[in-house]
Amino acid sequence: MNGERRRIRIGLLGFYHEANSFAPVQVDDAYVRAAGTFWGEDVLREFRGSASTAGGFIAAAEADGQVDLVPMVLSVLVPAGPVTAEALATQVGYFRESLAANGPFDGVLVVLHGAAVAEDVDDVDGHLLGVVRDAVGPGVVIGTSLDLHANISARMCEAADLLNTYRTNPHVDARPMAEEIGHLVFDAARGVIVPTLAFVPIPAFINILRQNTDVSPMSDVIADVVATAALTGVLTATVAEGYPYADVPEMGMSAVVITDDAPVQAAELARALAERVWERRDEFDARIPKPEEALEIASSTDATPVLLLDVGDNVGGGSPGDSVVLLDAAIRTDFRDLVSIVHDPAAAASAHRTGVGGVLDVVIGPSAAAVRGKATVIGLSDGTFEATGTLHAGFRRFDAGPSAALRLGTGQTVVVTTRVTLPLTPVQLEEIGLSLTDYRAIVAKGVHSPLAGYGPRVGLVLQVDTPGVTGADCSLLPYRRRRRPLFPLERDAHL
C-alpha cells in the first residue's frame, strides 16, 4: 500500500489560546509577540519532536513519508483573557495571507485550543476554521485536534472535516491525538475515507475539580469514548469537557463522532455518548477544603511534600498567577515550610538589585491583599528552564524571566518571577537552587496541569478552594453571554 499512496501537500498553521472571560490580562498584539510567533520552517524547528499538537501533526506527516508538509504560521499562548479585536484581525490576516501565498493544498492541519474568545468574536476557533475553509474552498480536507477543554461549536464542526480532542487531563496525549487527526486528514485527502461528522452539544459543564480523567466520572466517560472510537466504521470519537470560564454561548461539554461515510451511524453514536454523559451530570460538581483546612491537613500528614493546588489562581485557566492567599494563610497560621511561586516583576527586579544574601523590604501580591515584610534573597536566576518528560499539553521550554527565591522573615519561601509561568514542573524550583524535600508544602497555581510534572515528586495532592477568576464555584462568576439553561447553574436544563 505504501508505494501506491499519492504524494499530497498539507498546510500547517495555527493560533492556540484558551481565554478566561473574567481574567484581567487581555491578549493584544504585544502579548502574542511576547509569546512568540513562528513562521515557515521555524514552526518545524520549534515543535518537531515535542509532545504538543504541532509535534503530533509533524510526526504524522513524517511517518507517512508521502506528505509535503507546508508550515506557515503558529502562535501558542499561555492562557489569559480574551483576544482584542485588533489582535484577532492580525491573526486572521496571517491566516489569509499565508494560505493564499502557499497553496494549493490537498489538506490543512490547524493547531487550535478550542476555547479562544475575542472581544468581538465569541467562537474564535470556529471563526479561524471558517477563514481556512473560505481560503481553500470546499474540496480541501481540514483537520484540527483540540484541547480537552474545547468549547466545541457547530461552526467548528461545519468548517472542519476532522476534529478530535485530547482524552487526558492533565493533558499528556496532545501528540498522539494530533497524530490521529494527521493520518485521517491524509487518508481523506487521498480519497481513502469520507469523513461524516456528528456533533451533539451537552447543556452542562463539569466543575474543574471533577475534570481529572484518571478519576470517575471522567475516567468512565473517556472509557466510553475509547470504546465508541473502536467500533467498526468509526474514525474517531470525542467528549470535550469544555471550559467553564469562557463566557460564550458555545461554552459547555459536547460529543463528536466521525464515521467513514456513515452519517446516520455518526449521529446515533454521538447522541448515545451525550446521553450517557448527561446521566452522570450530578457527579460533575464538587467541594474542596479552604486554605486553613488544607494547611491543617498538610501540617499533620506524613506524606510530604504536599502539593497545594491554588484553584482560584490557576495560571493554565487564565489567572494572573499573582495571588498570595495561600502564602498569607501560611503566615497567619505559622506554617513555615511552604514555598510558592508568585508572578511579581517588581519584587524580582529589586531582589536582583539586592543580590544573594541581601535583605530587602518586599510587597508581594496584588496591592489590596499583599504580603509585606523583610525577606532574604536566597537564590537568583534568569528564569529559563527546560523540563524533561511529557508535561501537560507537551510544553517543554519555559521563560519566567529574571526570578528570585526569597525567604520571608516569617519563614516561608517565595519564588518571584518576571513573567507569569505555567506551573508544570518542579524544575522551576530546582533551577533556582531549592530542594523539594526541604518543604512540607508546595503551592502550584493550577488544578490538573501541575500533576504530570509534580505528581511523582510529592506525597499528597490537595486542591484548595481559593478565590480568583478561576475559582471552583462557578455560581460566583458574573456570566453574561453563556447559554441558559446550563447545568448545574440551572438544574432544569435538559439534553
Interacting residue ranges for Zn ion, rule: CB under 5 A: 147, 149
Min dist CB 335 to Zn ion, Å, is 31
Residue 242 or 291: the one with the smaller Cβ distance to Zn ion is 242
Residue 167 or 352: the one with the smaller Cβ distance to Zn ion is 167
Alpha carbon distance 306, 270 (integer Å): 40
Q: Which amino acid is at 369?
A: A
**What's the count of helices (H) and strands (E) in the chain, helices before strands?**
14, 19
Residue 17 or 149: the one with the smaller Cβ distance to Zn ion is 149
CA distances from 223 to 181, 197, 208, 219, 273 (A): 19, 20, 19, 6, 11
Min dist CB 474 to Zn ion, Å, is 16
Residue 149 or 396: the one with the smaller Cβ distance to Zn ion is 149
Burial of 119 (0-12, 13-18, 19+ CB in 10 A): middle
Sheet holding 460-464, edge to edge: 359-364, 371-381, 403-408, 413-417, 338-343, 441-444, 306-310, 460-464
Min dist CB 463 to Zn ion, Å, is 16
Min dist CB 171 to Zn ion, Å, is 6
Within a 10 A sphere around the Cβ of 386, how many other Cβ atoms? 10
C-alpha torsion 338→339→345→350, nearest 10: 80
Which residue's beta carbon is nearest to the bound Zn ion?
149
Burial of 30 (0-12, 13-18, 19+ CB in 10 A): exposed
Min dist CB 216 to Zn ion, Å, is 19
User: Cis link prior to 79 (omega < 30° from 0)?
Assistant: no
Min dist CB 394 to Zn ion, Å, is 12
Residue 147 or 180: the one with the smaller Cβ distance to Zn ion is 147
Residue 149 or 190: the one with the smaller Cβ distance to Zn ion is 149
Alpha carbon distance 442, 298 (integer Å): 10
